[in-house]
């Protein structure tokens, strides 16, 4: 069953999820939450499908107990039990604990998480663990095998409740410096070590780590030391904010990158090559059509390199370095100063007109060769 999500009914206005966010509802209890979620799911199902509460029965050696059980039935009479877990608050770092809890109850039925708001990062992590979810902002993902059910709904709505831990972006040079350090070096990494080696205040480092911990890009021990980093996911997330502030200008060289290599070598300019050109020096997917070059000052660099703007054809992209770290941990490959692999991958994620194969293949190379590029 694959309903067209464009025609799915909207979330009921008095849905349970808003009840736990201190808005006015008829019943401000977790039971109201589950009832409203049940009503919404029932409204999404086609005719001759049904979902109803099911009685719980104690089982031998059952350590975990679900908040509630539902019984879902298809038109052919086949059915499955849905194990429902309702939370008043949910963040990405809660996923491992919830996944373990629901996995321990899979023998009872299919797991389903209900919460006021489930962020995109949380949604991605839950899908990886095959956990269905519903939230009060209209986000829904339900995938059961028997009977076959697939419901997906993505909402643009954001949580409106004041948060004790406000959500943060990864915009800014200081944040970029810390993100690069976390990805370039192997854990364990302490706050003071990160602060000292990046020249960022310990307070700023702590705030950045708090955000990354909540979003489950890193894991920390009780002392606050970073023990692991999900560097592919973190670089993808950082790339989104990095691209928003990118200062760049396009130029054209008749002989392309071959001429640019010669001019870069003669000028002694501080630069680092990133994007498709740099990745092709590691893994060639397709001949690069453009040079992505970080420089300190675009007009000054263009003058030194003798570049001219063109409205029709471009093959050189000069990008103003967001921070000095764009020139750090570089390598010389074939006479070209290339940015760190972590920087190259982040830029590949957001370059216009790029091939998705380039980012995919380069990320695969990085995973296989982490001992080559990641430092201790």
* Residue 11 predicted with pLDDT over 80: no
Among 141-145, 147-151, 164-168, the range scoring the smallest mean pLDDT is 164-168
Q: pLDDT-derived band of residue 203, with 50, 70 and 90 as boundaries?
A: confident
Instruction: Give me the long-range contacts of 13-22 (CB less than 8 A, separation at least 24).
Output: 15/40, 15/136, 16/86, 16/114, 16/136, 17/114, 17/115, 17/116, 17/117, 17/135, 17/136, 17/137, 18/116, 18/136, 20/88, 20/89, 20/116, 21/116, 21/136, 21/159, 21/160, 21/161, 22/161
- 43: three-class secondary structure by DSSP: helix
Planar angle of CA 327, 172, 207, nearest 5 degrees: 115
DSSP 7: G
| Both structure tokens of 224 | 């606050």
Q: Is 2 helix (H, G, I), strand (E, B) or coil?
A: coil
Judged against a pLDDT cut of 60, whether residue 16 lies above it is answered with no
Q: In the numeric block, which tokens belong to residue 366?
A: 């990085």
**Quick one: angle between helices 191-198 and 202-214, nearest 10?**
120
Give the per-residue SS3 of 221-267. CCCCCEEEECHHHHHHHHHHHHHHCCCEEEEECCCHHHHHHHHHHHH
Q: What is the mean pLDDT of residues 225-248?
A: 95
Most confident among 64-73, 92-101, 324-333 (mean pLDDT): 324-333
pLDDT at 55: 80
| E strand or H helix that includes residue 344 | helix 341-350
274: Cα within 13 Å, side-chain hemisphere: 30
Burial of residue 26 (number of CB atoms within 10 Å: 0-12, 13-18, 19+): exposed
Contact 142, 149 (CB under 8 A): yes
- Mean pLDDT, residues 138-155: 88
Quick one: 183 exposed, middle or buried, by C-beta within 10 A (0-12, 13-18, 19+)? buried
Rounded CA gap, 287 and 152, in Å? 38
Write down the pLDDT at residue 4: 40
Q: How far apart are CA 256 and CA 275, in angstroms?
A: 15
pLDDT recorded at residue 157: 63
Q: Which residue has the tokens 């099911």?
A: 54
Q: Which of 8-17, 212-221, 274-283, 293-302 has the lowest mean pLDDT?
A: 8-17
What lies within 8 Å, CB to CB, of 157 at 6+ separation is: 137, 138
The answer to whether the peptide bond before residue 61 is cis (omega within 30 degrees of 0) is: no
Supply 264's token pair. 């870069």
Q: Is 199's pLDDT higher than 80?
A: yes
Say if residue 302's pLDDT is above 80. Answer: yes
Task: Considering only residues 25 and 174, tell me which one the structure prediction assigns the higher pLDDT.
Answer: 174
C-alpha to C-alpha distances, 213 to 55, 171, 195, 317, nearest whole angstrom: 38, 17, 17, 34
Does 140 score more than 80 pLDDT? yes
Could you tell me the pLDDT band of residue 44, with boundaries at 50, 70 and 90?
A: confident
| Cα separation, 199 vs 212, whole angstroms | 19
The pLDDT tens digits for 261-290 are 999 999 989 999 999 999 999 998 888 889
Q: How far apart are CA 173 and CA 176, in angstroms?
A: 5
Residues above pLDDT 70, as percent of the chain = 85
pLDDT confidence bin for 17, thresholds 50/70/90: very low
Of 1-10, 76-85, 189-198, the range with the lowest mean pLDDT is 1-10
Mean pLDDT of 162-188: 83
Query: Is the pLDDT confidence value at 167 over 60?
Result: no
0.75 surpassed by pTM:
no
Residue ranges with strand state E in the chain: 50-54, 68-73, 79-86, 110-115, 132-135, 140-144, 149-153, 218-220, 226-229, 248-251, 271-274, 291-295, 316-320, 331-333, 336-338
Range with the poorest average pLDDT among 52-56, 81-85, 274-278, 299-303: 52-56
Instruction: Please report which confidence band the pLDDT of residue 58 belongs to, taking 50, 70 and 90 as the band edges.
Output: low
Is the model's pLDDT at 57 over the cut of 70? no
Percent of the chain clearing pLDDT 90 (strictly above): 59
pLDDT in tens, 84-136: 999 888 999 999 999 999 999 999 999 999 998 999 999 999 999 999 999 98
Average pLDDT, the chain: 86
**Whose structure tokens read 């004790």?**
164
Give the pLDDT score at 293: 97
Band of pLDDT at residue 197, cut at 50, 70 and 90: very high
**Which of 293, 285, 364 has its CA nearest to residue 330?**
293
Q: Does 5 have pLDDT greater than 70?
A: no
CB-based burial of residue 7 (10 Å sphere; 0-12 exposed, 13-18 middle, 19+ buried)? exposed
Section 232-236 average pLDDT = 97
- What pLDDT is attached to residue 42? 87
Domains and CATH numbers, the chain: 5-153 (3.40.1350), 173-242 (1.10.10.10), 246-365 (no CATH)
Q: What tens digit of pLDDT does each residue of 334-373 get?
A: 899 999 999 999 999 998 766 688 999 999 999 999 999 9
Q: Which element (helix H / strand E) includes 174? A: helix 173-184
């Amino acid at each position: 069953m694959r309903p067209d999500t464009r025609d799915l009914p909207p979330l009921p206005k008095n849905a349970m999820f808003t009840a736990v966010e201190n808005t006015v509802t008829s019943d401000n209890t977790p039971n109201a939450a589950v009832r409203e979620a049940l009503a919404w799911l029932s409204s999404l199902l086609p005719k001759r499908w049904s979902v109803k509460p099911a009685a719980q029965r104690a089982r031998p050696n059952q350590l975990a107990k679900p908040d509630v059980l539902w019984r879902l039935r298809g038109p052919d009479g086949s059915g499955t039990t849905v194990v429902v877990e309702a939370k008043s608050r949910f963040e990405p770092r809660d996923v491992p604990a919830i996944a373990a809890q629901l996995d321990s109850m899979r023998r009872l039925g299919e797991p389903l998480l209900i919460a006021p708001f489930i962020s995109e990062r949380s949604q991605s992590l839950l899908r990886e663990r095959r956990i269905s979810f519903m939230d009060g902002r209209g986000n829904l993902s339900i995938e059961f095998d028997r009977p076959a059910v697939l419901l997906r709904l993505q909402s643009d709505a954001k949580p409106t409740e004041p948060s004790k831990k406000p959500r943060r972006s990864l915009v800014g040079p200081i944040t970029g410096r810390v993100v690069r350090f976390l990805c370039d070096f192997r854990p364990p990494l302490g706050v003071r070590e990160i602060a000292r080696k990046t020249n960022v205040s310990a307070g700023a480092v702590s705030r950045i780590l708090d955000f990354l911990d909540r979003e489950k890009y890193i894991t920390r021990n009780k002392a606050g030391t970073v023990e692991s980093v999900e560097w592919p996911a973190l670089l993808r997330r950082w790339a989104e904010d990095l691209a928003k502030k990118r200062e760049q200008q396009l130029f054209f060289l008749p002989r392309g990158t071959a001429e640019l290599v010669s001019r870069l070598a003669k000028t002694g300019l501080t630069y680092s090559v990133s994007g498709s050109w740099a990745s092709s020096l590691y893994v060639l997917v397709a001949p690069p059509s453009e040079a992505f070059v970080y420089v300190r000052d675009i007009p000054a660099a263009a003058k030194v390199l003798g570049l001219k703007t063109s409205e029709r054809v471009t093959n050189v992209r000069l990008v103003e370095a967001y921070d000095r770290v764009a020139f750090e941990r570089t390598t010389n490959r074939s006479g070209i100063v290339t940015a760190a692999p972590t920087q190259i991958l982040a830029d590949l994620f957001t370059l216009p007109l790029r091939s998705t194969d380039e980012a995919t293949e380069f990320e695969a190379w990085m995973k296989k060769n982490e001992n080559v590029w990641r430092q201790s």
